[in-house]
Structure 1
Amino acid sequence: MTDEETKSRNRREMSKTDVSNNIQNSDKNKASKSSNGIAAPIQIVASILLGIAFGFLMNKTNVYLAPMIREQMIFKRLTMIKMFLGAVGMSMLSVFLLILFNESIYQNVRNGFIHKINRIGAFHLAMGGCLIEVGMVLAGSCPGTIFIQMGSGLPNSFITCIGGICGVLFYYLFLNERLTKQELPKSSIVLQQLPDLMGVKHIYLNLIFGLTFISIAFILEYFFPYKNDLIQSDGFQTLSAWSPALCGVGIGLLQLFFMISFKKSLGISTGFTVIVAQACRVQFFKKLIPSLESFTYGIQNSLTLLFALAAIAGSFISTVSTNQFPLNEKYGANVWSSFFGGFLLLVGARCAGGCTSGQGISGVSHLLIGSLIATAAMFGGGILFAIGYGLITNDWHFYDL
């Protein structure tokens, strides 16, 4: 072998060694950092703390109780709408602050959210929204508050959770491939943002809407104090609560920390998908439901699951601190309503690409037309179903559910 050939072989071996070292270094970096470059241990701690805060605040609003949710749909109680307006308003102000100080981070968050729903058309957004609200009336819960109910020890909340898991399985077995065949064109109305259509800068519209929604929440609180909404009927223990408008503002503020820490929007229903996706670690389920594999591994999926579990812990802390654990079964739904309601909640959340927190709080904060369609369908569908149920059965207190 000539000297030139020897040098050439040495260069090739050195190149292979460099590639191998790069791969090893890359693996180490992936183990220590998440996709957005923040150290994974920091994100884990942040996910747990934010989840606890979310669960604690949701518990303190009492919005996770079945009567609160059901009677909101017939306007007998306003706890839910006050919390929602406060959360959306503060979430919009969180977007305003992030655009003001670091617009590039917000653009990454927004683009990631749009990418998540870029295969879901207007019909499926509306259909999913309606299914969510029908499920909310039946189960007396939304996808996020299932975790809050579990943390409070509410009977049948685990049945609702099982129904939700079955709903995720049903969606990915029979609906996902049919509903998300191809990406929507970028010109699709559901992927457009309201500021672009109006010719107004995002930062201005987020500021205006944010302040308006928060103001409406506190105006409603002033004229309809939350203490008047506390359940005091026979057979119910009166639960302690905080102002839903104020708690909503706190929940909306979590959006800012979510976007900074994880480069993504606040949402919790995906936690059910991550739970179900763990079955894909078994080869049989991996082949049966290949579309779930992307939710099986990775730091972002782990963080989603941690947030959901921490929300259970936050709700538990809130309930135990007031000596109200476990809650009376009358605050929840019966077995069948819990199961079928949970099933519809998660089928709807997957069809719509998010639930009341994902599409309702985060999507609306991004001023996406698709999210506005989904949220309008959520409330509209729930109101129509609740009123229709009341008219047919004359059970306006939903006792039979």
Structure 2
Amino acid sequence: MPVQSDLKVHPKMELEAGQAGKVAVDNEAPNKQDDHIPVAPPSKLNLAASYLISILCGTLWGFVFEKSRVFEVRSIRGQMVFERWVMLKMFMGAMGLSAFALSYTAAMKPKEFEKLREKFKDECDRSVLRATTLGAFLLGVGMSLASACPGMVLAQIGAGQKNSLFTVAGGIFGGFVYGALEPTIKSTLIRPPNSYVFPREKRFVDEYLNVSPSKTPLLIFFLGIFALCFSGVLEIVSPFDSIPEETDVANDCSNVFECRGWPPSIPGVILGSLQFLLIPFLGSCMGSATAFQSLVALPFLLTTTPTKREELKKSDSTWLSYLVKYTPDRLSTQWQLLYCGFCCVGAYISSTLSETYGTSPGLSPIECFLGGVLMLFGSRLAAGCTSGHGISGFPILLNTSWVAVPAMFGGGIVSAFILQAVQGDGFYPAYDDELM
């Protein structure tokens, strides 16, 4: 899984019972280790390095998210109705660099790449239509409704966007509802009788195309080239500073860090490059939704013993079984909490430097809360969020991600046009002139 390094966190080195974090599309569940394999505790140096990498990547994530302005309502809803292209520019830039990181891993560390893929494969034994497609569609609806995604809302909090905490509250509630209903969802949506599931031997695009494993790194590399070129063309066709009210004369600043906005493709490239750190040091790929699930499971850490938690996990029959799997009692579930927490810090630093903290208008509390519920419920059902499927799963050539990403944008586009028709002038919230 991870690239060789003295500072890496090997999957056999965990904090508690020795079970490592499972790398799903968005690191969805704890890893399953064979009981007969002896597990060595991680060294203090390994743990310290892993926590530092989590903090660094989270801070950079939040900083560049704020600089891209993709977190603003007009960027997200405007993208879904094809009026603004900030979101797609950043998304494609991030996917491009992520593809380069995965291509490098596949070419230079093929065994580690295959281990990484195995974790993705394990979490995709679910109905393509009822779970992946429906879940991603609901995620897209939530994105348009709240104008956020599980990772983006962290930048909104750091930048002081109005009512963004309601989105977080909705996300936590959505994660709880999904966890509580998971036994029923598993039998009716995830693995219902006669539902289509990708064959296990063909769960990646290159396997469907019968591409030689030796050529897979090249295929991923060219996907990265395409994504970067697409992002660059959008920057040329629709320059980032062509809409003054969005960029607030973004180039009128004394240094680059004080600018209100950057061309979105640049933050996207920086965001995607974080995979070069996450893959080797944490044995994981980019994703944010699991952090919400860990927040839901936090009470289990305070009210149960390790033995009791293991019993609940193994039962796999009650509504607690799913929730307790995400208890933040080891590195595999702790690192995303650190990562996401420092996303808020990074966005706050960026908005403070540009003196734009609290100037981005938000939506109503009910829109934010309901959008947050749909985002997290959809992410759990689809086994991945926007960054998990789009920035990680898509370039790793996971079949379900190639289904989820179009479904996600489909849900966002359909719901955005409906919202625009219903809300009229209220579709985009107005800026407060006194704050600008």
Matched residue, 2:107: 100
Q: Which residue of 1 aligns with 2:265?
A: 245
Which 10-residue stretch deviates more, 71-80 or 286-295?
286-295
| 1:266 CA drift (Å) | 0.8
**What are the Cα deviations for residues 169-205 of structure 1, in whole angstroms up to 9, with x where unaligned?**
1101114542366699985279611111112231121
CA deviation profile, 1:306-350 (whole Å, cap 9, x unmatched): 11101111111111111122234x2x2111101111111111111
Whether 2:177 is the aligned partner of 1:170: answer yes
Deviations 1:222-279 (A, max 9, x none): 1210112453599xxx981111111111111111211111111111111100111112
Task: Work out whether residues 122 and 373 of structure 1, in 8 Å CA contact, stay in contact via their aligned partners in 2.
Answer: no
Residues 2-401 of structure 1 mapped to structure 2, 5 A cutoff: 29-32=40-43, 39-119=46-126, 121-175=128-182, 177-179=184-186, 188=199, 192-200=203-211, 201-229=215-243, 231-232=245-246, 240-281=260-301, 282-283=303-304, 289-296=320-327, 297-328=329-360, 330=361, 332-395=362-425, 397-399=427-429
Structure 1 segments of 4+ aligned residues over 3 angstroms from their partners: 119-122, 180-187, 229-234, 283-288, 391-400
Q: In structure 2, what is the Cα distance between the partners aligned to 1:229 and 1:126?
A: 34
TM-score by length of 2: 0.78
Contact 1:389 1:395 (C-alpha < 8 Å) held by counterparts: no
**Cα gap change, 1:69/1:185 in structure 2, threshold over 3 Å: closer, same or farther?**
closer
Q: What is the CA–CA distance in structure 2 between the aligned matches of 1:229 and 1:289, rounded to whole Å?
A: 49
Quote how far apart the aligned CAs of 1:219 are.
1.1
Partners of 2:71 and 2:152 within 8 A in 1: yes
Aligned-residue offset at 1:113: 2.1
Letter in structure 2 aligned against 1:265: C
Aligned to 2:433: none
Residues 165 and 346 in structure 1, CA contact (< 8 A), matched pair in contact too = yes
> Which residue of structure 2 lines up, in the alignment, with residue 17 of structure 1?
none
| Structure 2 partner of 1:12 | none
2 CA distance for matches of 1:134 and 1:167?
14
Name the aligned partner's letter for residue 48 of structure 1. Answer: I
Partners of 1:342 and 1:187 in 2: CA distance: 29
Match of 1:143, SS? coil
2: CA distance between counterparts of 1:390 and 1:102? 48
State how far apart, in whole Å, the 1-side matches of 2:201 and 2:369 are: 31
Residue 365 of structure 1 aligns to a residue in which SS? coil
Moved more, 375-384 or 173-182: 173-182
8 Å CA contact retained: 2:175, 2:293: yes
Q: Which secondary structure does the structure 2 equivalent of 1:39 belong to?
A: helix
Query: Counterpart of 2:112 in structure 1: which amino acid?
Result: I
Larger of the two Rg values belongs to structure: 1
Q: CA RMSD in A?
A: 2.7
Query: Secondary structure in 1 aligned to 2:109?
Result: helix
Q: 1:356 Cα deviation (Å)?
A: 0.6
Select between 109-118 and 55-64 the one with higher mean Cα deviation. Answer: 109-118
Q: Is the 8 A contact 1:69 1:141 kept in 2?
A: yes
CA contact (8 A) 2:182 2:322 kept: no
Structure 1 unaligned spans of 5+: 1-25
Counterpart CA distance in 2 for 1:50 and 1:233 is 25
Cα 1:178–1:222 shift into 2, 3 Å: same
Uncovered stretches (5+) of structure 2, i.e. residues with no partner: 1-37, 253-258, 313-317, 431-436
**Aligned counterparts of 1:187 and 1:69: Cα–Cα separation in 2:** 31
Deviates more, 1:289-298 or 1:125-134: 289-298
1:31 deviates by 4.9
For 1:116 and 1:369, the matched residues in 2 are separated by: 12
**1:167 counterpart SS class:** helix
3-state DSSP of counterpart to 2:245: coil
Distance 1:176 1:323 in 2: 48
Q: How many correspondences in the alignment?
A: 366
**Offset of 1:120 from its aligned partner?**
5.1
Aligned identity (percent) is: 29
**What letter is aligned with 2:418?**
G
Tell me the residue number matched to 1:18.
Answer: none
Counterparts of 2:427 and 2:244, CA distance in 1:
15
